[in-house]
């Protein structure tokens, strides 16, 4: 069998960001409102600092206002809650993103719930999760939305397709499964207690691997011609790799996302898309 085609997430993400530039300019011209993203970083975790810096840079490149907030490592629960309350009430703030993980002394779940659903650009509040589960309009988590965008960009049929999502986390597995169900796929959620995982996966037209186990998905898991979307990110001496064993999977699949350069670049692009959606939602609610 020929080698699988590569799903180029870098190129798709660049196209999404380019389109957003136009859409943001059009929204601002129409409403007089510049969408603003408030990233909230507590402490100085080096990986989080890098992520936040690139979210800020790309939001500015898309024509949005950078309303970043930084609190010290020892900020109290009350201080972070106070800041989130101010951002929730501030009309210049379209989207609020609390960068996770927060320092261990803070109650992250309680903080997330303070973000109003119409500003919840990470899609992680109970309200946003409920709207997604009910198939109602709302802001969806960024990485799962990026997975759907990649499938659409490569015209992978989702309606009626059999999909196996490996992983049931709140951040990726569950929401991506919901998004796929809402798009009329037949979805199986596999997880750490699933029996005969390879057999379950071989039924799938599309496999979404969000497991956090390096190289778990091998060619043996893949039905010939299936599409494999690899959400995993692992840092090793040879650089980044994913939850799929790229070499053996690409011998069997028809399309596969590489790591790096697949799902990863989509996450920030979808965050920016969510920030514009949030601004539109607030404009409509204020009408």
The whole-angstrom separation of Cα 107 and Cα 80 is 10
Judge whether 34 counts as a catalytic residue.
Answer: no
Judge whether 122 counts as a catalytic residue.
Answer: yes
Q: Residue 67 CB, nearest distance to ligand NAD (Å)?
A: 23
DSSP 12-77: HHHHHHHHHHHHHHHHHHHHS---EEEEEEES--HHHHHHHHHHHHHHHHTT-EE--EEE-TT--H
The number of C-alpha atoms within 13 Å of 54 and in the hemisphere containing its C-beta is 12
Given the complex with ligand NAD, which of 7 and 87 has the nearer CB atom?
Answer: 7
Q: Is 183 annotated as a binding residue?
A: no
Nearest CA to 205 out of 187, 231, 183 is that of 187
Residue ranges that bind ligand NAD, judged by CB under 6 A = 143, 166-169, 171-173, 190-192, 194, 197, 210-213, 216, 231-233, 263-264, 267
The whole-angstrom separation of Cα 277 and Cα 123 is 12
Q: Residue 78 CB, nearest distance to ligand NAD (Å)?
A: 28
Q: Shortest Cβ contact with ligand NAD: which residue?
A: 169
Are 16 and 73 in contact by the 8 Å Cβ rule? The answer is: no
The whole-angstrom separation of Cα 286 and Cα 118 is 11
Given the complex with ligand NAD, which of 243 and 280 has the nearer CB atom?
Answer: 243
Q: Residue 27 CB, nearest distance to ligand NAD (Å)?
A: 26
Catalytic residue among 8, 23, 55, 243: 55
The whole-angstrom separation of Cα 215 and Cα 196 is 17
Q: Is 138 annotated as a binding residue?
A: no
Q: Is 268 annotated as a binding residue?
A: no
Given the complex with ligand NAD, which of 94 and 241 has the nearer CB atom?
Answer: 241
Q: For residue 154, with 0-12 CB atoms within 10 Å meaning exposed, 13-18 middle and 19 or more buried, which class applies?
A: middle
Q: Residue 66 CB, nearest distance to ligand NAD (Å)?
A: 21
* DSSP-H helix ranges across 123-223: 126-133, 142-153, 173-182, 197-201
Q: Residue 157 CB, nearest distance to ligand NAD (Å)?
A: 23
Given the complex with ligand NAD, which of 53 and 213 has the nearer CB atom?
Answer: 213
| 209: enclosing H helix or E strand | strand 206-209
Catalytic residue among 8, 23, 99, 120: 99
Q: Is 174 annotated as a binding residue?
A: no
Quote the DSSP letter at residue 120. B
Judge whether 55 counts as a catalytic residue.
Answer: yes
Given the complex with ligand NAD, which of 87 and 269 has the nearer CB atom?
Answer: 269
What count of residues does the chain have? Answer: 287
Catalytic residue among 8, 23, 120, 122: 122
Catalytic positions are: 55, 99, 122
Q: Which residue ranges make up the annotated binding site?
A: 167-169, 233
Q: Which residue ranges make up the annotated binding site for NADP(+)?
A: 167-169, 233
């Amino acid at each position: 069998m020929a080698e699988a085609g590569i799903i180029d997430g870098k190129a798709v993400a660049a196209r999404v960001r380019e389109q957003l530039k136009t859409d943001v300019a059009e929204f601002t011209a129409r409403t007089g409102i510049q969408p603003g993203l408030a990233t909230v970083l507590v402490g100085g975790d080096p990986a989080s600092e890098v992520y936040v810096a690139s979210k800020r840079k790309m939001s500015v490149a898309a024509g949005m206002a950078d309303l970043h907030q930084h609190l010290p490592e020892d900020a109290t629960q009350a201080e972070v809650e106070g800041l989130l309350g101010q951002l929730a009430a501030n009309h210049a703030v379209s989207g609020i993103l609390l960068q996770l993980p927060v320092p261990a002394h803070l109650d992250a779940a309680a903080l997330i719930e303070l973000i109003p659903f119409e500003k919840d650009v990470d899609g992680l509040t109970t309200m946003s999760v409920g709207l997604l589960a009910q198939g109602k309009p709302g802001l969806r988590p960024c990485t799962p939305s990026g997975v759907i965008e990649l499938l659409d960009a490569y015209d992978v049929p989702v309606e009626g397709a059999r999909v196996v999502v490996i992983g049931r986390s709140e951040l990726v597995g569950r929401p991506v499964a919901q998004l796929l169900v809402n798009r009329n796929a037949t979805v199986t959620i596999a997880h750490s207690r699933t029996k005969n995982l390879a057999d379950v996966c071989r039924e799938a037209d599309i496999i979404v691997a969000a497991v956090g186990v390096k190289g778990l998905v091998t060619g043996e898991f893949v039905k010939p011609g299936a599409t494999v979307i690899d959400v995993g990110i692992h840092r090793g001496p040879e650089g980044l790799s994913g939850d799929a064993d790229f070499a053996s999977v690409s011998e069997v699949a028809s399309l596969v996302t590489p790591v790096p350069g697949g799902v990863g670049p989509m996450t920030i692009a979808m965050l920016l898309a969510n920030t514009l959606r949030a601004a539109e939602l607030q404009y409509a609610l204020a009408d």
